[in-house]
Amino acid sequence: MVSRLEGTAPFCEVTGLQGYPRAAKARALVAELRPEPILTNWNTWLRTQRPSSDGAARQFAPHITVARARETIRLPEHEGVSGISVELDKPGLYRSVTHPDGAVYQRLEAGWAP
């Protein structure tokens, strides 16, 4: 699946920092990425290969998880981070399953295919 990105390590622009699932009750800090065509095309292809188990299409939100917290925390607004560019040299495909104790993440695939 990762090989579908054709071994290209795209540069993506960070558009902001955000608490996830929301700032008032964050369990993670994520750097939001501008949805570059290479990422949106990959996402479209992935949806044909791995449809959602509940049939619901989730909104595509490309991001890098910067930090996680065991307890929910309140995060302040973060400004002034736009324009930062990052190279996505090790993309990963994860499945998250939500449990009462928190989400469990399973790496389905990572890195570039040879």
DSSP structure string for 1-49: -GGGGTT---EEEEEEEEEES-GGGEEEEEEEE---HHHHHHHHHHHHH
pLDDT in tens, the chain (114 residues): 455 555 567 788 888 888 888 888 888 888 888 888 877 887 787 777 776 766 666 777 888 888 888 888 887 766 666 678 888 777 777 777 878 877 788 877 665 544
Q: CA Rg, the chain, in Å?
A: 15
Determine the Cα–Cα distance for residues 24 and 109; give it in Å rounded to an integer: 31
Phi, psi at 37, each rounded to 5°: -55, -40
Max Cα-Cα span within the chain: 42
* pLDDT per residue as tens digits for the range 48-69: 777 676 666 677 788 888 888 8
Determine the Cα–Cα distance for residues 100 and 92; give it in Å rounded to an integer: 25
**What pTM, to 2 d.p., does this model score?**
0.68
